[in-house]
Chains A and B, each alone.
Chain A
């Protein structure tokens, strides 16, 4: 037997930390400065959203008519709007709404999209045909139009806007997962899992699903950015958040009237949207580089 013992030198000496695939991804993510900046922006807005009520100088709906449309000053850092409300406070509160919509609509799309995509990809045949055609039909509409249609059916509210955004993003994730499952189910470790007698359902959830997650994480991060824009767009059209809620898109819409004489009412909510979306996009690109094996040299 001793002649069979392989020399252990062909294994690279390991650091004390177990170099799991996620740890490896984190290491390569860290290398990209711009991605870390993106993650920093995202983290900043998450913290703002979490501790918003405690750091905002004023409430979301504290109207002081004497303070209408004040320029940014020491007292009102980002100025006030036409009801005399502090814009900074409203933006801080608005972070909570935008991130809420962003995260939860994407989680909804990922869950529904993954289930449909996995079923379509793994079982194929007529199930695949039905699911894929439904996705195709949904993708044939411009997404914002579909969202408007869904909101009009459900009635305008922030929650319905979230649901609408979740629905329109389902086919993107569904197709992504489906294609990933199609390629992974041909992998040899799936055949060898079958060869040791593993059940289909277990192969799906313990082998195929975890291995298809990398692109979903990337796409999910980027989709949060899109969802935030879509929520803002719906808010702007008056189909999202309702009146006193400081949703960023809604703030933009309300600022239209005073745009010429009080540009800060529009610029700062717009900047908040832009920065958050930029943060998610940069982070998403970094994640793609870190998680996509094709990007690795």
Chain B
């Protein structure tokens, strides 16, 4: 797994919002990387900074009030945070593409599907003829499993169902063969059955086209189904990171444990569903100590005064919790394992 090359590396990313109430760090010093052809999940409750992370990668953080205040986002050898608008536009769609939560509003209601798909192609392939773009668009619609794609080219968004629109969005995102596809809650607005279809489609395309997928979701079920690795975020920080089987079998951070317990288990019908007490703290409201301490059942004195680091507890597993500080593999051993 570690043999695969990292194509997108986020290093110490910090994105803040400058509001009247002061500077609010929505994403606070996070590191992770997306490897070639993998599906990486980012999970967390609403407001934990997942979406801001994805918008930061795309350079689409609404500004003002948002701004990337630190760190770098490396795509190959390019630092996306340092690119000019023009260079960034070439990256978007071409190298890194994104699909959004709301398929109902992600397409322009005034233009046909074909029109919008071809536009997406011609932005980056300036020397292509209209005919070639059209063929490519139809090919993409077929690829995302939409039947009668020729007729669909002439349809307007309102004539399609939510699931079909999300497929069109995926087609549009993949039309220029990006290396990374960022999917921000792509299935949240869809019915459960359609949700499963879209996830299966994304997984399938990931395998066939070798496009790495960064899947942002609050649904651990989605992660279990589709992702290879997962990053758990809490209040703008990464609290745990590791391969999906390991995290699901042996969650370390109390927050991850809580999340896993809140997934309904069909085997025990009458049981009340577990929920983590309290809410995600407002970003920036906690100045010292572990950000989860107030909601954590294991919290002790140290947790209230010092924020733990992200401890490497095995070659692939990282946890931000003092309980695992002792388990941190010595740097020496770690390098041995990795080499």
Query: What's the nearest-Cβ distance from chain A to residue B14, in Å?
Result: 22
Question: Given A6-B145, A6-B163, A6-B164, is A192 in contact with B169 using a C-beta cutoff of 8 Å?
Answer: yes
List the one stretch of B19-27, B85-93, B210-218, B327-335 in contact with chain A.
B85-93
Tell me the total A-B contact number using a CB cutoff of 8 A.
101
List the one stretch of A11-19, A36-44, A169-177 in contact with chain B.
A11-19
Alpha-carbon distance A20/B120, docked complex (angstroms)? 21
List the one stretch of A85-93, A136-144, A206-214, A246-254 in contact with chain B.
A206-214
Query: What's the nearest-Cβ distance from chain B to residue A150, in Å?
Result: 36
Q: Are A195 and B164 in contact (CB under 8 A)?
A: no
Instruction: Please indicate the chain A residues that have their CB under 8 angstroms from the CB of B107 in the complex.
Output: 189, 192
Q: Counting CB contacts under 8 A, is A193 at the interface?
A: yes
Query: What's the nearest-Cβ distance from chain B to residue A16, in Å?
Result: 11
Alpha-carbon distance A289/B119, docked complex (angstroms)? 31
Question: Given A195-B92, A195-B98, is A6 in contact with B110 using a C-beta cutoff of 8 Å?
Answer: no
Q: Counting CB contacts under 8 A, is B204 at the interface?
A: yes
Q: Which of A19, A189, A191, A206 contacts B159 (CB 8 A)?
A: A19
Instruction: Please indicate the chain A residues that have their CB under 8 angstroms from the CB of B280 in the complex.
Output: none
Interface residues in B128-166 (C-beta closer than 8 Å to A): 145-148, 154-156, 158-161, 163-164
Q: Which of B123, B147, B164 contacts A198 (CB 8 A)?
A: B123
Q: Counting CB contacts under 8 A, is A197 at the interface?
A: yes
Q: Counting CB contacts under 8 A, is A194 at the interface?
A: yes
The proximity string for A residues 1-38 relative to B, scoring 1 for CB distances below 8 Å and 0 otherwise, is 10111101011101000111100000000000000000
Alpha-carbon distance A206/B164, docked complex (angstroms)? 23
Alpha-carbon distance A8/B169, docked complex (angstroms)? 18
Q: Counting CB contacts under 8 A, is B94 at the interface?
A: yes
Q: Are B97 and A211 in contact (CB under 8 A)?
A: no
Query: What's the nearest-Cβ distance from chain A to residue B324, in Å?
Result: 37
**Chain A CB within 10 Å — which of B98, B99, B124 has the most?**
B98
Q: Counting CB contacts under 8 A, is A297 at the interface?
A: no
Question: Given A1-B145, A188-B100, A188-B102, is A11 in contact with B160 using a C-beta cutoff of 8 Å?
Answer: yes
The proximity string for A residues 122-142 relative to B, scoring 1 for CB distances below 8 Å and 0 otherwise, is 000000000000000000000
Q: Are B119 and A206 in contact (CB under 8 A)?
A: yes
Q: Which of B124, B147, B194 contacts A197 (CB 8 A)?
A: B124
Question: Given A14-B159, A20-B156, A187-B105, is A6 in contact with B146 using a C-beta cutoff of 8 Å?
Answer: yes
Q: Counting CB contacts under 8 A, is A261 at the interface?
A: no
Question: Given A196-B93, A197-B93, is A188 in contact with B105 using a C-beta cutoff of 8 Å?
Answer: yes
Q: Counting CB contacts under 8 A, is B286 at the interface?
A: no
Q: Counting CB contacts under 8 A, is A199 at the interface?
A: yes
Alpha-carbon distance A210/B164, docked complex (angstroms)? 24
Interface residues in A41-80 (C-beta closer than 8 Å to B): none
Q: Counting CB contacts under 8 A, is B201 at the interface?
A: yes
Interface residues in A97-153 (C-beta closer than 8 Å to B): none
Instruction: Please indicate the chain A residues that have their CB under 8 angstroms from the CB of B155 in the complex.
Output: 14, 18
Q: Are A191 and B160 in contact (CB under 8 A)?
A: no
Instruction: Please indicate the chain B residues that have their CB under 8 angstroms from the CB of A1 in the complex.
Output: 145, 204
Q: Are B93 and A12 in contact (CB under 8 A)?
A: no
Q: Counting CB contacts under 8 A, is B172 at the interface?
A: yes
Q: Are A197 and B110 in contact (CB under 8 A)?
A: no
Alpha-carbon distance A14/B94, docked complex (angstroms)? 34
Q: Are B159 and A21 in contact (CB under 8 A)?
A: no
Query: What's the nearest-Cβ distance from chain A to residue B40, in Å?
Result: 18
Instruction: Please indicate the chain B residues that have their CB under 8 angstroms from the CB of A6 in the complex.
Output: 145-147, 161, 163-164, 167, 194, 197
Instruction: Please indicate the chain B residues that have their CB under 8 angstroms from the CB of A4 in the complex.
Output: 145, 197, 200-201, 204
Alpha-carbon distance A195/B107, docked complex (angstroms)? 12
Q: Are A195 and B58 in contact (CB under 8 A)?
A: yes
Q: Counting CB contacts under 8 A, is B109 at the interface?
A: yes
Q: Are A21 and B156 in contact (CB under 8 A)?
A: yes
Instruction: Please indicate the chain A residues that have their CB under 8 angstroms from the CB of B163 in the complex.
Output: 6, 10
Instruction: Please indicate the chain A residues that have their CB under 8 angstroms from the CB of B159 in the complex.
Output: 11-12, 14, 19
Instruction: Please indicate the chain A residues that have their CB under 8 angstroms from the CB of B91 in the complex.
Output: 197
Q: Are A196 and B106 in contact (CB under 8 A)?
A: no
Alpha-carbon distance A12/B94, docked complex (angstroms)? 34
Chosen A-B contacts, 18 in total, with CB atoms closer than 8 Å, are A1-B145, A3-B200, A6-B161, A6-B164, A6-B167, A11-B159, A11-B161, A18-B155, A21-B109, A21-B156, A188-B105, A189-B107, A195-B92, A195-B98, A196-B93, A196-B172, A199-B89, A210-B110
Known: A197-B91, A199-B89. 20 other contacts (CB 8 A): A4-B145, A4-B201, A6-B147, A6-B167, A10-B163, A10-B164, A11-B160, A19-B159, A21-B109, A21-B110, A188-B105, A192-B98, A192-B99, A192-B106, A195-B60, A195-B97, A195-B100, A196-B172, A198-B123, A210-B110
> Can you list the 9 inter-chain pairs with the closest CB atoms, starting with the nearest?
A196-B93, A197-B93, A197-B92, A195-B98, A4-B145, A188-B105, A197-B89, A196-B120, A188-B106
Interface set of B (CB-CB < 8 Å, partner A): 58, 60, 89-94, 97-102, 105-110, 112, 119-120, 123-124, 145-148, 154-156, 158-161, 163-164, 167, 169, 172-173, 176, 194, 197, 200-201, 204
Interface set of A (CB-CB < 8 Å, partner B): 1, 3-6, 8, 10-12, 14, 18-21, 187-189, 191-199, 206-207, 210-211
